[in-house]
Amino acid sequence: MKHIVLIIAALSVLTVAGTASAATSSATLTVTGTVESSISITVESAGGTTSGTGTAAATSDLGNISKYGSAPTGFTLARGASDWTISSTIGVQVVKANLTSTDYTLTAQLGSAPASGVAWKLNGSTLSDSAATTLTSTGTYASTGSYSWDIVVADSAAAAAIDNAINFTASSN
C-alpha cells in the first residue's frame, strides 16, 4: 500500500510539471572556409652584433674588419698567405603550418654583387647574386639549421665597405 501511495504522488507531480511546456526552435549556421598551408623562415642567430634575430630580417654589424685587427664579435679570424677569412655561423629555422611536407629545401643568394676581392661563403659554397645556392634539400622543420659562414677577403681588395645581404629561400618538398 505504501508503494501505491508513492506512485500516485509521483504521477501527480509529473502531471503538474508537464503543464509548463515551452516554445522551442532551432536553426543551423553553416561555417565554411579554406585552410591554407604556409611556411615561415627566420634567422635565429648570426655572428657579429646582430639585431632582428627570430625574424625574417636580421642584421649583423661586423664593424671595422682587417687582416691584422681583431675578429668581429662571434667570428674567428684566419690569416692566409694572400687573403684572410672571418668565420661564424648562421642559424636558420623554417616552420610549417597546415602542410603535410616533411622537409624543405633551403637556398641562399647574395642581394648584390660582392665587392671585388671579397667572397661570401655558406657551408663552403661561394654565393653569388645571380644564382641561388642550395644549402640543404632535406631541412627539418622547426629545427634551427646551422650553416658555416665565411667571408674571404683578398689582400688585394680595396679598403671599403663590404655590405651585402644574404637572401634565404625555403621551399617545402
Partner 1 sequence: MARHFLPAFLVVALVTVPAVAARRRAVVLPAPDALTITFVAAASSTLDAGTIAHDFSQRSAKGVTIVTRTVAVRVDRRDGLTSGLVTLRASIETEDPRCTLRVDGVELHIAPVTIAIVPAGSATTHRIEITVPVSAEQGALLTSIRWEAATEENNR
List interacting residues with partner 1 (CB under 8 A): 1-2, 4-5, 8-9, 12, 15-16, 19-38, 40, 95-100
Q: Minimum distance between the CB of residue 102 and partner 1, rounded to whole angstroms?
A: 13
The least CB distance from residue 46 to partner 1, in Å, is: 19
User: Of 50 and 172, which has the nearer Cβ to partner 1?
Assistant: 172
Residues 34, 53: Cα–Cα separation, whole Å: 32
What is the rounded CA–CA span in Å between residue 170 and residue 135?
10
* Cell, residue 112: 648584390
* Closer residue to partner 1, CB minimum distance, 64 or 98: 98
Name the residue type at position 49: T
CB of 39 to partner 1, least distance (A): 9
Minimum CB separation of residue 53 from partner 1 in Å reads 14
Instruction: Look up residue 46 and give its DSSP letter.
Output: E
Answer for the pair 63, 51: CB distance below 8 angstroms, yes or no: no
Whether the CB-CB separation of 87 and 80 falls below 8 Å is answered with no
Using the minimum distance from each CB to partner 1, give the nearer residue, 8 or 131: 8
Q: Please report, as a single letter, which amino acid is at residue 151.
A: I
Residue number with CB closer to partner 1 (77 or 99):
99
